[in-house]
Copies of this chain bind each other. A is one copy, B any other.
């Protein structure tokens, strides 16, 4: 069998898991949205058994919350949660950048810089690279460069997926993207010079700035809809219901 062909022995539950996870991190399933078992089961053409397994697996990854007898919802992070997650990410990714500076080969740093060029081009041509879930990302590349499987798993999967739920729709403030690219260049520069301390510091500052920027935008939306209101909206979201008038 050709290697490009997917193994047919992948479980239906696994397939549903991947599909739902992608839908969540891509924003197709919004934060706090209710997840109907029957609906998704029909959508994927599978029984409710495997679907429930996929949901439970996502619950273990904290991407969905399940309340007994009340159904599953996409997890909904408060602003405070996002702040805390960003701080964890700042600490860990600084360390990952430090390790990457020490451990990446010159050729790997070359590839990293090439990735930056690609992103610059994409930005200039206006393509949204964050549309697909598996887009090669600058931060992902750096973390992978740390060669620490646990750091990679934490930063590139668990924390990253959680934070992606709250990514802003538009590119945010104009000028921030350019500043971010400059900071990326600066980090790679420090890595080239094998200055691990400086690279770690720059990465920490970069993430701190990104957090500030995100929270400023978040603050705007929270003026429109407070957290309590969102909770309320989630609660009173109507279930599908047949409108047949009951017979007397």
Contacts and interface: CB of A to CB of B under 8 A. Distances in A.
B10 A81 contact: no
Interface in A8-66: 9-11, 13-14, 49, 52-54, 56-62
Contacts of A9: 68-69
Interface residues of A, number: 34
Copies in the complex: 2
A179 interface: no
Nearest to A59: B57
Contacts of A57: 56-57, 59-60
Contacts of A62: 153
B150 A84 contact: yes
A248 B64 CA distance: 55
B81 A149 contact: yes
Contacts of A11: 68
Contacts of A58: 60
Contacts of A158: 158
A92 interface: yes
Contacts of A148: 84, 87
A81 B154 CA distance: 12
Nearest to A88: B150
Nearest to A10: B68
A105 interface: no
Given A11-B68, A58-B60, A60-B57, A88 B149 contact: no
A27 to B, nearest CB: 21
26 contacts: A9-B68, A11-B68, A49-B49, A53-B53, A53-B56, A54-B56, A56-B56, A56-B57, A56-B60, A57-B57, A57-B59, A59-B60, A60-B60, A61-B61, A81-B149, A84-B149, A84-B150, A84-B151, A85-B150, A87-B95, A88-B92, A88-B150, A91-B91, A91-B92, A91-B95, A92-B92
Interface of A: 9-11, 13-14, 49, 52-54, 56-62, 68-69, 80-81, 84-85, 87-88, 91-92, 95, 148-151, 153-154, 158
Given A49-B49, A56-B60, A85-B150, 5 more contacts: A60-B61, A84-B150, A88-B150, A91-B92, A91-B95
